[in-house]
Amino acid sequence: MGTGREVAGRSKRALAPMVAAVAVIGSGIIAVPSALAAPATDAVTSQSLQSSYTHVVSSTGRKLQVQLNVEQPAAAPSGATATITLRKGSSETSELHVWTFPVTAAALQLDASGAGTVDVPDSAMSPFGQISLTSAPVGDPTTQTCKGQNVSRTQAVSLTGTFFFDTRSKGRRAWGTVGSTTEPFSFGSPNKVVSQYNPGAGSACVDFNNLPCPSGVFWSTNEKGGALNFEGVTAGRHGELIASRTVDLSTPPGATRNDESFATTKPLKLTTTSGGGASLSVKADTNSSGRAKLIGKSSSTDSNNCKDGTKKKVETTTFWRNAKYKNGTKHLAVHEQIFGAIKIANNSNGSLTSSTIS
């Protein structure tokens, strides 16, 4: 974990308002109709199609939401990927799984207007499914600019055809399959095609002295080269906990699955010592069980300007970057309906961050 801002940004739900505000407050990035700022002279560096989250009922009766994303870099079309996300649950105990497949450039065949096809055959996804969709533009596109440079162009599209995916999960809580190889399927709006220009241009319009002010306790730990991760943050009267696991699939070659679950914990208890050390106790609450502790021996402090509404303030952050993670008698675990609970081993590397605003 780097700074408190970085952890806050990655904690997707607990600090979602802050993440959204970062894109607006202190930013010179604007969206205008493409007719007024047509990026005709800019080279497209990547193109992606992202569907909406669409409600489905799986073959096992699970009420889920499904999203499709296909991305193709212009410089390396052979590096295209197709990603399918399935999620369920409330905002505090949601669970999602993301399957990513390497595909050929033929998977995404769209013209400048966003019209074309999305085709991922069984041979590219076996044994998980297949996709054959048609994309058609809806309304006018918008172009995002930053200091006179085009950053991206977004076109709303409809997305219809056939879509079939098999989660290949087992047990009494299996999610089964969604969609069909023969029955029509439509993704609900908004679906969008995004063309990217001038990589990195957008960051020039973010004023890092006017970011919103995050405060509280943030922590993280990981093992197996980052394949297993816990990230936690203070959220009101309790803590938020995000658990993630990345698995390399045996087939097709190069495919991966990422499992992610959200839980709450009892209020985080950070105890500091006069010698600069600290310990943090984490006790499970919803969608989780067990407990754990992080222990940091040495700290460092940093200060940054931030914005609390319209008021400029200072965020003071203390870091314990080499904290050690230790489970209680019952290991801290975040539960999942499929593919098993996510746990982290003792003595994994971790970090603690405590931020205050003045």
Cis peptide upstream of residue 127 (ω within 30 degrees of 0): yes
Whether pTM exceeds 0.75: yes
pLDDT per residue as tens digits for the range 12-59: 433 333 333 333 333 455 555 544 444 445 788 899 999 999 999 999
pLDDT per residue as tens digits for the range 180-189: 999 999 999 9
Pick from 265, 331, 338: nearest CA to 95: 338
Residue 256: the pLDDT is 98
CA distance 150 to 37: 8
CA distance 95 to 102: 24
Residue 27: the pLDDT is 44
Amino acid in the structure at residue 242: I
Residue 262 binned pLDDT confidence (cut-offs 50, 70, 90)? very high
CA distance 321 to 300: 9
Cross-strand pairs, 172: none
Mean pLDDT for 319-348 is: 96
pLDDT per residue as tens digits for the range 86-113: 999 766 678 999 999 999 989 999 998 9
Residue 354 binned pLDDT confidence (cut-offs 50, 70, 90)? very high
pLDDT per residue as tens digits for the range 136-181: 999 999 998 888 888 899 999 999 999 999 999 999 999 999 999 9
Amino acid in the structure at residue 185: F
Residue 75: the pLDDT is 77
CA distance 332 to 345: 9
* Ramachandran region, residue 224 (left: φ > 0; alpha: ψ -120 to 50; beta: rest): left
What is the rounded end-to-end Cα distance, in angstroms, of the chain? 23
Mean pLDDT for 49-74 is: 96
